[in-house]
């Protein structure tokens, strides 16, 4: 079979494509785990952001795929619909399969007959996708493949969820990077790739999709597999690697062993980026950080989330951000974690969430001041009601969701208000402060990647300050005017595909689906993952109308 796998072109504020274009890890892993006689091509459309339609047309013409698979996050839903419609027009007999976080957690949004999706793969994809291809090829019923929703003549059928894979058993083969057909991956001018060393998390932060996606569990790839994977990425040109693990810091002993294995394998000339919990870094950093530094870790994304205790309680992120002494919580671990990483030459990407239900201007200011003082690159977001998360339920129940256009659920558009501030005020506060924090990081980047900054620095600045004009620079326009212009530009940027949305005449279809998906109950027992089948039918779940 000829297979084309696509990731969506939509990017968001903190990863501008001028500086950061990373491959989608899911597609490489899917390609590496199908039977070898298939011909598979991967196209990360973020590499063709300004020519999406032309690129899809060309690939469809050259590859003539029997099946096209799309990986989609919630904010990319509208783009995915247009691309599917385009593919349908170009090759009506191609089968369309969707997977990833949005189809997994909001499958109802993907079943409209006018949309043209044949199969939804829910949850982890490698084994389900492999078995789906086998079933199609052998003509056996799709009902025998766990983990699917699929279209039949009389409607959509569901198969039971597939249990999460124990990756330590070698069930998942390494990714197939050779299948990528577009080029241009970059992290500030260096070739970049992604690898994973583990899957899952045992925490249950209320804003995170991971628990609903796969339950509370943690599985580790064997370290030999990981080192071989890094070596493969390096051999293909990667000089920067993003470790996409959900939470690598759950097992510090193993993380330490990984750093040592990277050093032993002489793979230290790569800039590694990883995300971690502040509590783990604060508690174990004195032993871990020197090894991370020697292994080549450069950026650590810290899930600080919020520096105020009441917000951490709402986000259910207190435990992972607590500093402890003799087993007792003695405070927030963020400053200790930042300090340890800085002392060992690493840079901190500060993940913060502002605009929580009870946030006042002072609460947001306190977080912005923290970011200004402690983090190197701010990654400040607003609480975003992604399908199936407990936080979504909280916001819906309090009537605080003010925007249901999911294409704006990109993390930096405030789509919820607090009890004290409008969504607009929340976003304005973050936007205004964050731009200047980003500028402060430029000299550090210049020292590390001078060629890139000299060539593209002006574009990076222009992106960060888009909306600014000479009039605003000399004070003839207010920051508010600039903010409104920025938002108008941002709205235009979201039109990635010059092709109509097949559901454009179903004005409320998407919103109703969102409403239903948003109010789904959590999968809080950790097992089995994806408990959708055991839930009340979607139509019985109602969306609480926002009060403003």
Binding of residue 24 to ligand B12 (CB under 6 A):
yes
Among residues 189, 215, 303, 502, the one that binds ligand SF4 under rule CB under 6 A: 303
Please count the helices (runs of H) and the strands (runs of E) in the chain: 18, 19
Binding of residue 370 to ligand B12 (CB under 6 A):
no
For residues 63-72, b (16+ Cβ closer than 10 Å) or e, as one string? bebbbbbbbb
- State the binding partner of 97 from ligand B12, ligand SF4, none, CB within 5 to 8 A by kind: ligand B12
Among residues 110, 374, 386, 452, the one that binds ligand B12 under rule CB under 6 A: 386
Cβ-Cβ contacts under 8 Å for 313 (sequence gap 6 or more): none
Residue number with CB closer to ligand B12 (241 or 336): 241
347 DSSP β-pair partners: 299
**Least distance from C-beta 475 to ligand B12, angstroms?**
33
Binding of residue 150 to ligand B12 (CB under 6 A):
no
Binding of residue 100 to ligand B12 (CB under 6 A):
yes
Residue number with CB closer to ligand SF4 (320 or 435): 320
Among residues 151, 180, 320, 438, the one that binds ligand SF4 under rule CB under 6 A: 320
- Residue 80 has which token pair? 């995915």
Binding of residue 210 to ligand SF4 (CB under 6 A):
yes
Binding of residue 194 to ligand B12 (CB under 6 A):
yes
- State the binding partner of 334 from ligand B12, ligand SF4, none, CB within 5 to 8 A by kind: none
SS3 assignment, position 416: strand
219 DSSP β-pair partners: 199
* Region near ligand SF4 per CB under 6 A, out of 197-205, 324-332, 336-344, 395-403: 197-205
Q: Please tell me what DSSP assigns to residue 180.
A: B
Binding of residue 45 to ligand B12 (CB under 6 A):
no
CA distances to 146, 164, 386, 529 from 526, in Å: 18, 11, 18, 6
Q: Is the peptide bond before 528 cis (omega within 30 degrees of 0)?
A: yes
In whole angstroms, what is the distance from residue 282 CA to residue 276 CA?
Answer: 11
Among residues 83, 208, 280, 340, the one that binds ligand SF4 under rule CB under 6 A: 208
**Least distance from C-beta 27 to ligand B12, angstroms?**
7
Q: Tokens 């994809």 correspond to what residue?
A: 125
Cβ-Cβ contacts under 8 Å for 497 (sequence gap 6 or more): 9, 52, 53, 56, 79, 82, 83, 86
In whole angstroms, what is the distance from residue 9 CA to residue 76 CA?
Answer: 8
Residue number with CB closer to ligand SF4 (12 or 218): 218
Residue number with CB closer to ligand B12 (75 or 374): 75
Q: Please tell me what DSSP assigns to residue 239.
A: S
Where does 49-114 have alpha helices with state H?
Answer: 52-63, 77-90, 101-105
- Residue 366 has which token pair? 């306190």
Do 25 and 52 touch, CB atoms closer than 8 A? no
Binding of residue 187 to ligand B12 (CB under 6 A):
no
**Least distance from C-beta 243 to ligand SF4, angstroms?**
13
Binding of residue 11 to ligand SF4 (CB under 6 A):
no
Among residues 66, 246, 359, 427, the one that binds ligand SF4 under rule CB under 6 A: 246
Q: Which residues bind ligand B12 (CB under 6 A)?
A: 10-12, 15, 22-26, 29-30, 69-71, 73-75, 97, 99-102, 104-105, 121, 124-126, 129, 194, 196, 208-210, 242, 244, 246, 381, 386-387, 410-411
Interface positions with ligand SF4 (CB under 6 A): 201, 203-205, 208, 210, 246-247, 277, 303, 320
């Amino acid at each position: 079979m000829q297979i084309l796998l696509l990731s969506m072109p939509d990017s968001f504020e903190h990863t501008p494509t001028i500086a950061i274009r990373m491959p989608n890890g899911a597609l490489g892993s899917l390609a590496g785990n199908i039977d070898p006689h298939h011909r598979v091509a991967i196209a990360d459309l973020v590499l063709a952001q300004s020519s999406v339609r032309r690129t899809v047309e060309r690939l469809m013409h050259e590859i003539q795929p029997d099946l096209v698979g799309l990986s989609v996050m919630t904010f990319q839903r509208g783009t995915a619909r247009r691309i599917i419609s385009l593919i349908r027009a170009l090759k009506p007999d191609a089968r369309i399969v969707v997977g990833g976080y949005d189809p997994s957690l909001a499958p109802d949004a993907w079943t409209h007959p006018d949309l043209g999706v044949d199969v939804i793969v829910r949850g982890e994809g490698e084994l389900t996708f492999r078995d789906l291809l086998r079933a199609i090829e052998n003509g056996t019923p799709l009902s025998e493949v766990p983990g699917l929703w699929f279209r039949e003549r009389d409607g959509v059928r569901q198969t039971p969820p597939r249990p999460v894979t124990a990756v330590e058993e070698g069930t998942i083969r390494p990714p197939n990077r050779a299948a990528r057909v577009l080029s241009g991956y970059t992290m500030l001018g260096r070739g970049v790739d992604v690898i994973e060393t583990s899957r899952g998390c045992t925490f249950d932060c209320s804003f995170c999709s991971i628990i609903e996606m796969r339950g509370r569990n943690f599985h580790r790839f064997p370290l030999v597999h990981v080192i071989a994977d890094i070596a493969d990425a390096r051999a293909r040109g990667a000089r920067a690697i993003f470790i996409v693990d959900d939470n690598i810091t759950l097992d510090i002993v193993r993380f330490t062993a990984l750093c040592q294995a990277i050093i032993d394998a002489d793979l230290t000339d790569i800039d590694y980026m990883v995300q971690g919990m502040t509590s783990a870094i604060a508690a174990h950093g004195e032993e871990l950080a020197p090894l991370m530094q020697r292994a080549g870790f450069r950026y650590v994304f810290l899930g600080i989330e919020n520096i105020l205790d009441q917000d951490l309680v709402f986000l259910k992120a207190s435990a992972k951000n607590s500093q402890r002494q003799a087993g007792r919580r003695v405070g927030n671990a963020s400053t200790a974690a930042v300090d340890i990483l800085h002392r060992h030459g690493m840079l901190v990407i500060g993940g913060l969430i502002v605009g929580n239900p009870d946030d006042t201007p002072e609460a947001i200011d306190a977080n912005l001041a923290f970011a200004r003082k402690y983090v190197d690159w701010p990654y400040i977001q607003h609480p975003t009601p992604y399908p199936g998360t407990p936080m979504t339920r909280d916001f819906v129940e309090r009537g605080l969701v003010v925007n249901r256009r999911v294409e704006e659920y990109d993390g930096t558009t405030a789509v919820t208000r607090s009890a004290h501030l409008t969504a607009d005020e929340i976003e304005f506060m973050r936007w205004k402060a964050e731009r200047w924090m980003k500028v402060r990081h430029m000299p550090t980047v210049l020292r590390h990647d001078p060629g890139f900054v000299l060539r593209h620095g002006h574009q990076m600045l222009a992106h960060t300050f888009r909306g600014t004009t000479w009039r605003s620079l000399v004070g003839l326009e207010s920051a508010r005017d600039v903010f409104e212009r920025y938002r108008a530009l941002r709205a235009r940027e979201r039109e990635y595909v010059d092709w109509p949305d097949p559901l454009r005449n179903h004005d409320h279809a998407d919103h109703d689906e969102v409403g239903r998906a948003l109010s789904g109950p959590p999968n809080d027992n950790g097992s089995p993952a994806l408990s959708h089948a055991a839930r009340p039918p979607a139509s019985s779940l109602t969306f609480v109308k926002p009060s403003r």
